[in-house]
Each structure stands twice: as C-alpha cells, then as structure tokens.
Structure 1
Amino acid sequence: MSQRYVRFNVNELARIAVEAVGAKSCVSVEKYPDSMYNKAMLLTMDNGTRVVAKVPNPNAGKPHFTTASEVATMDFVRNVLGTPVPRVFAWSSTAQENPVGAEYIIMEKVPGIELEHVWSSMKIADRFTLVKAIAGFQKAWTSVSFKQFGGLYYANDLEKRAGNEPLYTDANGVDVTDAKFAIGPSTGRESIDYRRATIDFDRGPWKTLEDYHTAIGHREIACVSQLPRLPKSPITLCGPGTYQPTKERKLKALHCYLKLIKFLLPTDRSVTSSHLWHGDLHAANIFVNPSNHTEIVGLIDWQSTELSPLYYHARQPHIIDYDGPPVSGLERPRPPKDIEQLDTNAKKHAEALYLQQSLCSLFNILTHHQNPRLYAALEFQQTTSYLLLLLARNLLVDGEATYLSQVAELEATWDTLPNAKSSAYPFSFSRKERQEMEADVENVARGIEAMRSIRESIGELFPEQGIVRSDQYEDALDALEQMKCQVIEEFASNEQEREVWRKEWPFGT
C-alpha cells in the first residue's frame, strides 16, 4: 500500500489549476477512482472550464523522469504526430520544489465519453469506422522514427543530452533537429515493475538496436542478482509439484539471451527503428464524440511510454481483442457452414465470434495496404527470433524454463535465424540437461493450469495485479484461503512441502 500512497496539498493543486486556465476560483473537486499508478481529480472552475489533475503514486516510476517524459510525450504526440491528446496546462516533476508537495500534471478534460460506455452497443459498421481511425493514428506513429531508443523529454529536463543532432526522421524521410525535445532514460514499466526501480542499471538512451537489447539482458541480470527474493509469478503457481524458479536458472537463460541477440535481430530495417506509441489502446483510454461514436476526440494515459523498436509496438488495438480462434495474416473469417442449424445460443455465439474475427481481419488488411512497415513488424512477431527477444524482457519474473527449452530446440533450425547462416550454434546441452528442460516445461504447464483453475474458481474475487474491490476484500481472503488448502492437498506430499507452499503462496493469505 505504501507504493500507492502519496501525500499532497489539494488546495494548492486547485490554486495552480485556477491560474493555469485563467479562472477566478475552483468551485468543485471530484475524485476519480484510484488507478494502479496515479491519483486523479476532476476540477471545475467558476467559468465552467474543467481540467483533470493527476498525481503519480510512488510506484508510477522514477521521480522526475516519469512525469517529465509523460508531458513531453503528450506534447510531441499532439503537435507533431497530430494525434488528439489532452493539452497540458501546468505540471511539475519536482515534488520538493512546488507547493503541492508532489509531482502533478494539470491537463484538459477531454470533451467526450469513454468508448467503453458505447462500444458494445455500436453497430458493426461503426466499429469498422473506428478501427480505421485507430489504424490511421498508427500510420502517423509509424511514419516518424527516432534516432535513439529510450524516453522522450523536453531538452531542458535532462542533465545529459545529445548536442545539435537530428531527433527523428519525418514521414518524408527528412532528418529533423528539434532543440525543444531530447531522448533520455526509458520510463517503460519493464524498467520499474517488480522492484526493478530500486536497482541500478543502464536505463538509456541507446543509439543502436543491439545496445538496446543488450541493456535489457543486463537489466534483468542485475535485478535477478541483486533483489533479495525473486518476484512471484502472476501466471504460474510455483511450488513443490509444479515449477520452482531459481536465480541460477534465470541467469542461465539470460546469458543465453546475451549470446543470441546478434543472431536474432531482424535484417529488415523497416521494423527495427525507434517509435513512439500508445501501447494500451483499450476502451477506457479512448474518448469519442458523444453524438458521433466513430469520431475519436482523445487518447489518454501516455505515462511510461518508451521509444522502442517497431516490432515491440505492433499489435491490434486492445478493443478488438477477443477469446477464440485467432485470425492470422490476411485471412478472411467465415461463419460456420451449419450456422442456420445451430440452436439459438450457439448461433448467437457463432455470429458474435464471426464479427469479432471480422474486425481483426479488417485491421490486418488495412495495415497491410496502408501501413506496410507495421504489417512487416506483425509478421516478424510470428518468428522464433521475436519470441526469444520478447521472452527475455521479463525473465526476472517468468519464462526461463520456456526460454531455455526454446534455446535448445533452436539448434535444429539455427540456419533459419536472420543472422546465423555463417555461424555455428553457440551452445552445447547434454542429454541430461535437455531432459531437465523438458521436465521444467511440463512443471510450468502444471503451474499455469493451477493458476488458471484458481482464477476460474473464484471469478471476480481473484486479485488481478494484487488488487480486489474493497467491499470484496474479506470474501477474497476466504476464497484464496480455501484455494491454498486445495493446492496444498493436491501438490504437497509431505509436511516439508506443505510448509513450502504456505511460505511461497503468492496471494498473501
């Protein structure tokens, strides 16, 4: 809870907001529900102007850098990339130097409604139109590539910055020097979460793609080595009878990654350049015109945005995610041939799935025709090279068993890697090591299934990201205690293993 507690002066925050928008007084302060990383309020002025005031929690990121980068990012996205984002009226990234007593951003209240309130009731044609609009934003984001990887800032907010060098390449292929902005340390969540914020490592910026990926490996090694305890996995139930992670196994996977980087990087330079992107386009972050739900009037939540390779940004918007068979490439979905023979419920489900798949297909086709660089990045994501680059980003927390197994399997397809044709496979695993890897993967699968079973059994009482509603807290504790007893009964074979499960239980009960 301490990581989500921040003390600040609301009256001073309101006073600064009044001055920033040229009002005489603040007549109303409405608190928004707390988010994971911020406190937010809606301030209404005597002249009718409404602004949102946001104060970051300690867990939002590194002091100064997280707020400073967010403000500069919003400015660039709004005024250079032409994406509708809230205008910032006032801000401070130095809590010790302002009367509020905390970092803050005071920004425009987006004049619209959250898409989450209307998406489910929108006609399919209107959903198509909105997906096209998002694809248009992504084309603009793809068209501008930066010269380094890291985080975007105002130049004056960085002690160390590049000289009079180009900042980015515009849509016409012209290098642009903009003294207002500079690239500095990354504020991405992967450099903050799971106590990474407490560890000293290279946070950027990085000039080359290989430097960027190498820094990820050294970051994870530093965190695995220096943190007193490994973080508990959010997706795998770990303990006797399932999978038990060790620092040694994680470090082994990370050293494999460092050896592999130069062989994994794509040769297609169109997908490796540095880009600024909104990585969380779910319905609560998209605001639309109340009278025309196909018109996007604002995208919010640009905190922790990282300038990273295009292939890490590429994905369909979260709003068209669904549960069911995926649509790949330019495949066009088809409804079941026997749809008219299905019963009412089955037919309704089949029709809904077909519409969801159609939205994804539309996005893929639009991207292929209008934004070929992004489509190429999506295609690279289907490769083993991408998987091995991606998994390494979070080996502190998860994935080392799968990673080592993938590395071992790579020997059979080594020549297919982008840069491996003239090089020998750089590892040697004994038969015993390979058998241990296979056993680890099986144990991980058992742990993932156990976690899935807990989630399904207790439903909305499951503490996603460690959080439950306050009115459900006691019920959640009771449900998790019952689950713990069931897990111990299923997986522990003696008192020593039962004690390990009690100690390693990830839900704090």
Structure 2
Amino acid sequence: MLDPKSLMTDLESEIFNYTTGCFLANEAHHLRERRCVFDVPGLFKIIAKAMNCETEQIVEFRKLGEGGLNRIFLVTLDTEFQLVARLPYPLLTPKAYAVASEVATMDFLRSKGLPIPKVYVDLSQIWSGLKEDEIISLMDQLVKFESTMMSLSFPAGGSIYYARDLMELSGNEGIPLDEQVESITLKKEQLCIGPDVSIPLWYGRRERLNVFRGPYEDAKSVLVTGAKKELAYLDRFGAPRAPYQRFRREYYKYEKQAPSDHAKNLGHYLHLAPSLVPDDDYLSAFCIRHPDLTDSNIRVSTDSGGLQILSVLDWQYAAVLPLFLHAGMPELIQNEEDEVSQKMIKPELPNNFDKLPAEDQDRERELLRRRLVHYHYNLSTAAHNRIHHKGLVYPLNPFRRRVFIHASALWEGETINLLCALIDLVLGWEYFATDGTPCPVVFMEKEIVEAGNLYQALANAEGGESRLREIVGYEEETWVPAAHYEAAKAFGQELKRKTLEACTEDEEMTKEDYAVIEANWPLDDMDEDELEEYK
C-alpha cells in the first residue's frame, strides 16, 4: 500500500520541485517560482472522493511532466485505472480565477462534445517527424475542433465560470449562459461569463488593481480594457526602468525609460481604439478559442487507425473575445515569415535535394514540414471553419490584433512596439475611418523617422539574440534541458569572455562602456530586486 505521508518526508523530492530543465540566468529565482510543496495526503483524499474510492486504492503516484505553469502527476488505482492530477505553480496568476474558469470552461466545452481531456501521447513527441499525410489528417481534425468551438455563441466576453464560484470569488454572478452543465458534483449547475483571466490583466502587482476586467458588453470594451489597466498600473507602480530584454538596452544607451512615454502612447491608443472595430458585425461576435495551442497540449493516439486527436489540454487562460481578436494562426502552425508560406504555394523539397549534404537535407526537411503545416492548416480552415477563415482574410485584421496586443501588454521599459503600431494606424487612417472622420492623433515627421530607426535597430538586435539562442541552445527565460545545462552555461560564459575581449580591442571603448556591457550580458543573473520591478 502506498502511504501518502511517506511522500512528504523529502521536500526536495522531484514531486515538489522543477526538474525538467534549468535556466542559464536567475536559475534560483525560476526554480523557486516553480517549487510547489503540497499536502499529498490531502490530495489523495480529494482524488478518492472524486473517484468514489478509498485512498488505500491509490497504488502509484508519480510526476508525469511539468510545463510553464503546472506540474502533472499520474495517479494509478489498484483497478489499473489511471488519471492525471495537475497542480499549478505559485507563479500562476490570478490563481483562484484561472483555476475556477478553467474547470468551468472544460466542463462547458465537454458538454458540447469536444475532446476535453483524456491523456494519451503528447503530440510534441512526434511533431517534428510527421509525414505529409499525417499533417493533412491532423490539420483537418484540428480545424474541425476549432470550428466546433468557435461556432459557439456567447452573450458577452470574458471568461467562463460556474456562477457559484464567481459569486464566491467576486460577489458577482456574472452574465449567465443559457444552459447548465454537469459539474464534478454530478449536478447541473449554472455557468456564466465573468472577468477575463488573460495574463496581462493580472500579472504581478496588476492583480492588486481595482480595475474593470470584464465581462465585456461589446468589442470596444475589450479593446480598451487592457490599455486602461496598464495606465492604472503605470499611475500606481510606474517608475523609470531599463528594457527587460537586456540585449535591447544598448539601443537606449543603457538608460532607464520613463513610464510617461508609454502612458502617452496608451492615451493615443484609447482615442484610436474604436476605429479598430470592424464594420462587419459578424467579426465582433463573441467566441472562444484555445489560449495556447501548442504540440504539448494536444494528445493523440498512434495506433493502426492513424493519428487521432483525442484531447486538448491547458485551458487556464481561455477567454471569450470578438472573432476578429481570436482570428489568427496558432504559433505552433504559423510560418508567415517564410516567402513560400506567404504565397500559399504547395511546398516541395528543392530539386537538388538528393545532392545536398546530410545537414542541409535535415534543414530542408524541417523547412518543408513547417511549410506543409502552414499550408494545410490554411486549406483546412477555408474548407471546414468558415467562421475563422473570414477573420483570417478580413482586410488588415492581423494589424488590428497587433495594435490591441501591444496596447494590452505589460510595460517592460519600452513603448516602441506600441508607438510604431500607432504610427502605422495613423498613416493608414483612411482604411479604418471609412466615414471620413479626421484622425484624432498626429505624429510629427521627426517622431516617425526616429521611431522607425529605433524599431529597425531593435529588429537587428533581435536577430543577433536569435543567433545567440541557436548557438547556445536556450529557449524562453534562458531555459535549457537539464542534460544540456552545464555545457550551455560554460559556452555562454565563453561567448561573454570573447565579446568582452573584443571590446578591449576597441580603442574608442571607455571603461564605463565596458562595465555597462559586462553588467548587461543577457545570460548572466539579473538582480532579483530589478526582476521584481517588472511585476
């Protein structure tokens, strides 16, 4: 018999700590954010109650995996029945709202016949090796899944909750949905639309703000809420800070940036935001979409019947938004920077493929896979998800989303992305104010030129950082697989040494310049007090 108390004797065990990977910068900080010591006997009691069994019937409990926000455990009963338990890290925000909304969202979508969730093979395990016929099949299934989901109508925007949960959390009942669904209590319960749980509305100290987060009555309300939230954040917590991404600081002369610049641009955005609402009403209809459709969130079967999508996981930040803000290709699938994908040309291997070196052949195969995924997702969407396809092809819709995202984003010491988006909007005003209304915002030629120059310089810097990532082998937040950590750490420090060595050979380099470059190396630890400033 498995004694749950015995699992509490070693608090450094992998069940409480992040072990999947390491971080080249601020390792201790990131691991602390992902450490989650919980009451194992208490969890066993919850599982037993849900499964209508005794805790003694749980014969195995082990960590199955962990992602950016949650740790997943596989629980096995003495009947050989298995289930998954998922616990959020302390960094999850807003924890109570996100968990309550996810439970309600999953129950709601399951009641509509969508596969939410069982656990099978993680698509990420086979994603890079898919053949074209498998890609075609998976894209068809995925698009049909999205079509069913996006065709569901809602009376308002925000996130889905059980009315009882939202009342307990906020004292409000939200906007009721027309139907009830069966909850874990096996009773029919009322669902509703309540506050939007999207991360930018709640991250860090923003959770302490008494600001409106939904439910939204219309598209305009959605467009302005994120910007108003960030203005409230800047008003209460704003202070000069350097850009969070240290490789970008050089182009600001390593100087801290005033929050007033971003506040000014948010004010401009609020004047312009109503023009982003499309003229066609169907694009403003509220719908729901998966918030993070990655290969690790899609579970498939791999039996003789071919690949089948059996469940889709991770609905913590699902939001009900207007179609035009949901329309877009998932990051997993889009390959829009590629010229062949842009033209929607049927992808093929180059004619000289057989004569290429093995390394180049591998590169071409991967490029072909990305192009095929992009190509067949678009074809399937046009055929099976007309609702989404209308949003994808609607004029300037990707731009509308881009402006909205930049205006709702966390301020991390920069305003250039929002500023350039606003400049583009002002310069193209005639396409948005079709009734001839004068543009309420004006940018001087000098502002436009300076913003364009900075934007291009930062784009070049991003290219350099991308090459550094590729060379060292790290991902977001300097994450690397645990097995690669020591080598990557050493290699990163060697690159730093060579970079600083090259600086000493520059006759125009002062000691102060050298010290600033050394202090802002992107793979070194950032001061933890400075890290907290960005929350």
Indicate whether the TM-score tops 0.5: yes
SS in 1 for 2:476: coil
Amino acid at match of 2:308: E
**1:278/1:203 CA distance change after superposition, 3 Å:** same
Which of 134, 140, 160 matches 1:152? Answer: 160
- The alignment's TM-score, normalised by the length of structure 1, stands at 0.81
**Are residues 395 and 258 of structure 1, via their aligned partners in 2, closer, same or farther at CA, if it must alter by over 3 Å?**
farther
Letter of the 1:62 counterpart: P
**CA shift digits 1:73-110 (9 cap, x unpaired):** 11011112x11113xxxxxxxxxxxxxxxxxxxxxxx2
Deviates more, 1:398-407 or 1:67-76: 398-407
In 2 relative to 1, CA 385–35 (structure 1 residues): closer, same or farther, beyond 3 Å? closer
2: CA distance, partners of 1:194 / 1:501: 28
- The corresponding residue for 2:111 is 79
The letter for the 1-side match of 2:393 is E
The 2-side partners of 1:498 and 1:9 are apart by 50
**Is residue 285–residue 300 contact of structure 1 (8 Å, CA) maintained in 2?**
yes
Name stretches of at least 5 consecutive residues in structure 2 with no aligned partner: 1-28, 180-187, 526-535
Task: Note the 1:34-183 alignment, pairs <5 A.
Answer: 34-80=66-112, 82-86=113-117, 110-159=118-167, 160-161=171-172, 166-167=177-178, 180-183=190-193
Gap change, CA 1:467 and 1:412, over 3 Å in 2: closer
CA deviation after TM superposition for structure 1 residue 152, in Å:
0.6
Q: Give distance in 2, aligned partners of 1:309 and 1:319.
A: 22
Contact residue 347 and residue 368 of structure 2 kept, 8 A: yes
Q: Residue 176 of structure 2 contacts residue 191 of structure 2 at CA under 8 Å; is this kept in 1?
A: no
Q: Would you say 1:432 and 2:442 are equivalent positions? A: no
User: CA-to-partner distance for each residue in 1:458-487, whole Å, 9 max, x for gaps?
Assistant: 12xx35224344455555444444455566
Q: Which residue of 2 aligns with 1:358?
A: 372
Confirm whether residue 31 of structure 1 aligns to residue 31 of structure 2. Answer: no
**In 1, Cα distance between equivalents of 2:89 and 2:259:** 30
**Residue 526 (structure 2) pairs with residue 494 (structure 1):** no
Q: CA RMSD in A?
A: 3.3
Give how far 1:412 is off: 3.7
Q: Which amino acid aligns with 1:145?
A: S
Cα deviation digits, residues 322-376 of structure 1 (max 9, x gap): 5972556783325378457853655675565445423322221221232222012
Q: Which amino acid aligns with 2:108?
A: F
Please give the alpha-carbon distance, in whole angstroms, between the structure 1 residues aligned to 2:461 and 2:363.
30
- Per the TM alignment, residue 409 of structure 1 is displaced from its structure 2 partner at its CA by 4.3
SS of 2:375's partner is helix
- Selected match of 1:16 from 31, 40, 46: 46
Q: Which residue number in structure 2 is paired with residue 416 of structure 1? A: 431
Matches within 5 A, 1:353-392: 353-354=367-368, 356-380=370-394, 383-392=398-407
The amino acid of 1:456's aligned partner reads: E
Change (3 A) 1:264 1:312: closer
**Aligned partner (choices 243, 256, 266) of residue 254 of structure 1:** 266
Q: Does 1:191 align with 2:205?
A: no
Matches of 1:482 and 1:195 in 2, distance apart? Answer: 37
The structure-2 alpha-carbon separation of the partners of 1:228 and 1:158, relative to structure 1 and needing over 3 Å to count, comes to same
Match of 1:283 in 2: 295
* Larger deviation, residues 178-187 vs 320-329: 320-329
Inter-CA distance 231–165: structure 2 relative to 1 (3 Å threshold): farther
Equivalent residues of 1:239, 1:500 under 8 A apart: no
Deviation at 1:229, TM superposition (A): 6.2
Distance 2:378 2:511 in 1: 54
Residues 1:448 and 1:324: Cα distance change in structure 2 (over 3 Å): closer
Deviates more, 1:358-367 or 1:241-250: 241-250
| TM-superposed deviation, 1:70 | 0.9
How many residues align structurally?
A: 473
The match for 2:22 is: none
Counterpart of 2:316 (choices 290, 303, 316) is 303
Aligned to 1:238: 249
Counterparts of 1:39 and 1:14, CA distance in 2: 16
1:72 to partner: Cα distance: 0.5
Q: 1:452/1:125 Cα in 2 relative to 1: closer, same or farther (>3 Å)? A: closer
How far did residue 194 of structure 1 move? 5.7
Q: 1 CA distance for matches of 2:215 and 2:91?
A: 22
Deviation of the 1:228 alpha carbon? 4.9
